[in-house]
């Protein structure tokens, strides 16, 4: 009996052919190959912090230049605004300059208290000096004869021509005492004056502490008044800048709306107005420094002639470079602050709908 091929029945029916591999689909093969060859998607790199800082500095510089150019395009309005602010800066500056000159003038005077003893005519000063020199309350003493007192009076008063016509010297000899500060506290000073007044050779005892204290109090009052006036006028400068920036914001309302529609932040929109206020302040500070110097020049001549009458070398001093620079920086700071306050308030009211 013949053998059958494996997998076939003897009758030859139902024979199953050997399994054939399926043919690969060319479309799927192409897609899988393309998927394998597709490069990895690169993520977009975030901007570096240095780039952001550089961009911010560039925008600040650009806004500063553009703000200055916009102000220079309207010189009359800019000058008027700067003048109003300058007047507010000039007033306290002049008062501070006056107080500084008074301090300089009083610096040449000996501010320590002195007790002056006017001696009687014909009094012997040597025994009196020995007695007072042994007093522990007296730090030092100086004797001026009548002739020396007259020469000193002529030097400081400038009345040498008048005194030369006098037949007799009207001034007495004096003893100038410098007491210890502890001996002048409270009632001790009055007791010391009364004690010196009781001396036989003393015609009059005078303590010049009062006028020194009065001068110091006057200078302190003038300095504090100047600072108070400066603070009040600084508020006036802020109001002037605030009103000016408010008008500028209203004039550029449509432009601000467009910038906010495209995503501009409040800080971005506020920046040009801040530089506008700062430029106003710089201009006001420069004008104020010039005006103060002009006022000093106007008063310098009469002050020099008055000092010459008293044979004094006093010279009136102005602001100087450092004080002028401080005045300009103060104006710029006030302008920036006033613009910031106005911009923060009014930009909130401008929002796209």
183 and 234, same structural domain?
Answer: no
191 and 82, same structural domain?
Answer: no
CB-based contact 204:172 (threshold 8 Å)? no
**H or E element at residue 116:** strand 115-119
| Burial (0-12, 13-18, 19+ Cβ within 10 Å), 299 | middle
Domain that holds residue 147: 115-207
* 220 alpha-carbon distance from chain centroid: 20
Average pLDDT over residues 75-85: 92
Answer yes or no: is 46 within a domain: no
Higher pLDDT, 191 or 353: 191
Runs of H (alpha helix) within the chain: 26-37, 49-72, 75-107, 125-133, 146-157, 160-164, 187-197, 209-251, 253-261, 266-309, 320-347
Higher pLDDT, 169 or 277: 277
Sheet holding 138-144, edge to edge: 138-144, 174-179, 115-119, 202-207
271 and 191, same structural domain?
Answer: no
227 and 202, same structural domain?
Answer: no
Answer yes or no: is 331 within a domain: yes
pLDDT of 142 above 90? no
CB-based contact 85:237 (threshold 8 Å)? yes
Answer yes or no: is 18 within a domain: no
250 and 340, same structural domain?
Answer: yes
294 and 317, same structural domain?
Answer: yes
Query: How much of the chain exceeds pLDDT 90, in percent?
Result: 22
Nearest C-alpha neighbor of 153 from the set 141, 140, 164 = 164
Angle at 163 between CA 162 and CA 167, to 5 degrees: 120
249 and 290, same structural domain?
Answer: yes
Q: What's the whole-number average pLDDT of the chain?
A: 79
Domain at 191, CATH number: 3.30.70.3040
Average pLDDT over residues 320-327: 91
> Please, which pLDDT band fits residue 170 given cuts at 50, 70 and 90?
confident
Domains contained in the chain, number: 2
Length of the chain: 353
Pairwise CA distance, residues 233 & 96, whole Å: 14
**pLDDT the model gives residue 324:** 92
Pairwise CA distance, residues 221 & 209, whole Å: 18
> Please, which pLDDT band fits residue 320 given cuts at 50, 70 and 90?
confident
257 and 128, same structural domain?
Answer: no
290 and 180, same structural domain?
Answer: no
DSSP assignment string, 323-334: HHHHHHHHHHHH
Q: Which of 207, 241, 266 is the last residue of a domain?
A: 207
């Amino acid at each position: 009996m013949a053998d059958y091929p494996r997998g076939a029945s003897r009758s030859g029916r139902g024979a199953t052919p050997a399994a054939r591999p399926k043919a690969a689909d060319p479309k799927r093969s192409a897609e899988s190959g393309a998927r394998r060859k597709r490069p990895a998607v690169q993520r977009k790199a975030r901007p570096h912090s240095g780039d952001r800082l550089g961009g911010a500095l560039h925008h600040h510089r650009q806004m500063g230049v553009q703000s200055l150019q916009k102000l220079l395009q309207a010189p009359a309005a800019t000058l008027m605004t700067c003048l109003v602010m300058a007047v507010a800066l000039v007033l306290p500056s002049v008062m501070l300059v006056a107080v500084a000159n008074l301090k300089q003038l009083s610096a040449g005077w000996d501010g320590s208290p002195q007790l002056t003893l006017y001696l009687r005519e014909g009094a012997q000063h040597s025994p009196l000096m020995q007695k007072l020199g042994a007093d522990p309350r007296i730090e030092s003493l100086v004797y001026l004869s009548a002739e020396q007192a007259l020469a000193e009076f002529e030097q400081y008063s400038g009345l040498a021509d008048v005194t030369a016509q006098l037949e007799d010297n009207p001034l007495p000899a004096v003893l100038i005492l410098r007491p210890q500060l502890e001996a002048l506290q409270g009632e001790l000073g009055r007791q010391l004056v009364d004690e010196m007044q009781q001396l036989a050779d003393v015609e009059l005892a005078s303590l010049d502490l009062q006028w020194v204290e009065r001068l110091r109090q006057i200078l302190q009052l003038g300095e504090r008044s100047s600072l108070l006036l400066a603070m009040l006028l600084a508020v006036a400068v802020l109001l002037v800048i605030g009103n000016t920036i408010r008008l500028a914001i209203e004039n550029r309302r449509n432009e601000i709306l467009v910038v906010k529609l495209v995503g501009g932040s409040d800080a971005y929109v506020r920046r040009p107005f801040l530089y506008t206020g700062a430029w106003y302040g710089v201009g006001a500070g420069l004008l104020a420094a010039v005006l103060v110097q002009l006022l000093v020049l106007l008063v310098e001549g009469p002050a020099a002639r008055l000092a010459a009458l008293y044979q004094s070398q006093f010279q009136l001093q102005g602001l100087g470079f450092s004080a002028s620079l401080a005045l300009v920086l103060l104006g710029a700071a006030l302008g920036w602050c006033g613009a910031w306050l106005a911009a923060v308030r009014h930009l909130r009211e401008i929002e796209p709908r």
